[in-house]
Amino acid sequence: MRRLLPLLLCGLSGLAWGEACVVHSQAERLDVKVCQQNRSIPPNLFRTGFCQPELKGQKVDVSFVEQCPVGAFGVCRNARVGGTPYQQDIHYYGVAEDAAYLKPFCESQSKGVWMAY
């Protein structure tokens, strides 16, 4: 049994890392693309809640991927999800100047670590 425990723990830790969702929202003058890489959110909750935003007046397209695509201008690592113990990495694509607003939000509200690329 002791030999199986490390394999089981490795398998369980891999569940969260192999899951991400790309959220692309569009409105008249808005085109935003983010990717949420799951760190500790239960998989079912991640798919049915965290990756299903309701953005009034916007067209939203969500696709699930194993990992977030390259090309983000910044990532909020270990972002805490409001009022929960869950964490995720949020990758931001598009207008790099938005980092001026996203970095402070990441660090103060989400208690994450901002990584610029």
Q: What is the pLDDT of residues 66-83, one digit of tens each?
A: 999 999 999 999 999 888
In a domain, 12, yes or no: no
| Residues 52 and 61: beta-carbon distance below 8 Å | no
Give residue 29's domain range: 20-116
pTM for the structure as a whole:
0.80
Q: CA 97, CA 65: separation in Å to the nearest integer?
A: 26
The secondary element (H helix, E strand) that includes residue 37 is strand 30-38
In a domain, 54, yes or no: yes
In a domain, 33, yes or no: yes
Give the tens place of pLDDT for each residue, 10-26. Answer: 333 334 446 999 999 88
pLDDT at 56: 83
In a domain, 50, yes or no: yes
In a domain, 100, yes or no: yes
In a domain, 59, yes or no: yes
In a domain, 24, yes or no: yes
Q: Residue 99 CB: number of other CB atoms within 10 A? A: 16
Contact residues for 26 (Cβ-Cβ < 8 A; gap 6+): 32, 58, 59, 60
Q: CA 64, CA 46: separation in Å to the nearest integer?
A: 11
Total domains in the chain come to 1
In a domain, 6, yes or no: no
